[in-house]
Amino acid sequence: MAEQAPPEQLWQRVRSSLPRRVRRWPRLPGFRQAAVLIPLLFREHEAHLVLIRRARHMRHHAGQIAFPGGRVDASDSDRQQTAVRETCEELGVNEADIKVLGRLPEVPTLTGFQVVPLVGRLARESRFVPCENEVAEVVEVPLDALLEQQPRWLNPSYSWDGSQIWGVTAWILRGFLRRLQRTS
């Protein structure tokens, strides 16, 4: 994506890279249900992926760079609502600023979560007011900077601005980027 497409072409490309139907796994015994959003933003003439660095005092994944998201609440009607609610809480954006474009296959984690990744776009004018209790910082990474990297197959990781994106975040990210590369 060296030459950036206009925003509507980019969103169409992202939508066409996502699976039309995703096989849903049965609920895995002992796994907690969760969802994350892969938020994309078109700003300064290029596409960015928006991530968070989790606060150091968090019980799970402290200090790691991650997608906004979290555990399913009893009040959530589905995993999409979980991902959107958590993104609003963690980034401090309005629900109206998020448009979900699709979802990726579920990912079970070594830490006992069954995660549904959803892909969404944020309004261009989105301003972040991160939840200080959960988020140490919001990290915007140009999508091209990630597409240019070649992560290892079994244990993928990505680098950005001196930080490592690894673990389940890198695993989900690699799957998304590979789909996006196939549509170019």
Residue 2 lies in a domain: no
How many independent structural domains does the chain possess? 1
Mean pLDDT of 25-37: 88
Read off the tokens for 128. 């972040």
Query: What's the pLDDT tens digit per position in 48-80?
Result: 999 999 988 877 677 889 999 999 999 999 999
Which of 65, 48, 69 shows the shortest CA–CA distance to 4?
48
What confidence score (pLDDT) does residue 115 get? 96
For residue 1, pLDDT beyond 70 = no
Token look-up 């007011």 returns: 129
In a domain, 1, yes or no: no
| 107-163 tens-digit pLDDT | 999 889 999 999 999 998 899 999 999 999 999 999 999 999 988 877 899 999 999
Q: Residue 89 falls within a domain, yes or no?
A: yes
Q: What is the CATH number of the domain that holds 58?
A: 3.90.79.10
Q: How far is 48 from 72, CA to CA, in rounded Å?
A: 26
45 is a domain residue? yes
Determine the structural domain holding residue 163 and report its residue range: 7-18+29-182
Q: What contacts 146, CB < 8 A, 6 or more positions away?
A: 49, 158, 160, 173, 177
23 located within any domain:
no
Q: Is the pTM of this model over 0.85?
A: yes
Q: Is residue 157 part of a domain?
A: yes
Residue 133 lies in a domain: yes
24 within domain boundaries: no
